[in-house]
Amino acid sequence: MDAREMKIKAAAAALAHVEDGMRLGIGTGSTAEEFVRLLAEKVAGGLQVQGVPTSERTARLCLELGVPLKSLDELPELDLTIDGADEIDARLRLVKGGGGALLREKIVAAASKRMIVIADATKVVDTLGAFPLPIEINPFGQVSTRLSIERLASELGLSGSMTLRTRSDESLFMTDGGHLILDASFGRIPDADALASRLNQIPGVVEHGLFINLASLAIIAGPAGARVME
Ligand code: 5RP
């Protein structure tokens, strides 16, 4: 089974949790997009859901495939969010933001009664941090913000480089909210809870990709099939 087949398997298993009438948060990334494709087939077959997309990219795909959308302000409380992740540990703590949608993804997940993570088995780790941690920062004062993050990292014994995310044409990557992303390559984040709460205290940090106490369940697809972590 190749990587795409595993993503489809995880997405299909998540679809079983979607019920008629649900208000759904819809994630961003290649795995979430497989979910959108399967969801669109169900919608074409009569399933009634209202989706809140976590990015402009997801919104475009949903509109193209006929998945009905609302804004989060129209549907401020959601039944379920289904989204991918870059890393998942045994306590269902996540690193997210590889696709740059972490801010809206976190707001939507927090507005949902449940969040189901869908991923292939390569995303499961013992310790978070091998995937560079995306940190969304305001462009204003970005140098000061970066220095504050570097000081915090050194205080917490984290080492590694931080890179301002760019696009393939080397222009700066801007999020849907008009912010920048610093990708922090710490290698290992032994105390993700401490890092998350300390990052939240730095004023120029808009959000970070550590999702803690948000996921209720993860569906992990590997060559032998899908398994559930909860
Ligand atoms: C986007 C995300 C994605 O969920 C994460 O990057 C996983 O993406 P993929 O399913 O393509 O591996 O957090 O901001």
Over residues 89-132, the pLDDT tens digits come to: 999 999 999 999 999 999 999 999 999 999 999 999 999 999 99
DSSP secondary structure of 58-78: HHHHHHHHT--B--TTTS-SE
Q: Is 70 assigned to a binding site?
A: no
Q: How far apart are CA 119 and CA 30, in angstroms?
A: 10
Expressed in angstroms and rounded, the spacing between residue 84 Cα and the centre of ligand 1 is: 5
157 phi and psi angles, rounded to 5 deg: 75, 25
Q: What is the CA radius of gyration of the chain?
A: 17
Mutate to test the pocket of ligand 1, among 33, 82, 86 (most ligand atoms within 8 A of CB): 86
For ligand 1, the distance from its centroid to the CA atom of residue 30, given in whole angstroms, is 7
Whether 134 shows a pLDDT value over 80: the answer reads yes
Separation between Cα atoms, residue 222 and residue 120, nearest integer Å: 6
| 167-220 confidence digits (pLDDT tens) | 999 999 999 999 999 999 999 999 999 999 999 999 999 999 999 999 999 999
**By alpha-carbon position, which residue is closest to atom 1 of ligand 1?**
99
pLDDT tens column, 26-41: 999 999 999 999 999 9
Q: Choose the catalytic residue: 33, 34, 87, 105.
A: 105
Give the residues surrounding ligand 1 with Cβ less than 6 Å away: 27-32, 83-86, 96-102, 105
Is 84 part of any known ligand binding site? Answer: yes
Whether complex ipTM tops 0.95: yes
Q: Is 32 exposed, middle or buried (CB count within 10 Å of its CB: 0-12, 13-18, 19+)? A: buried
Is 5 in the active site?
A: no
Instruction: State yes or no: 81 annotated in a binding site.
Output: no
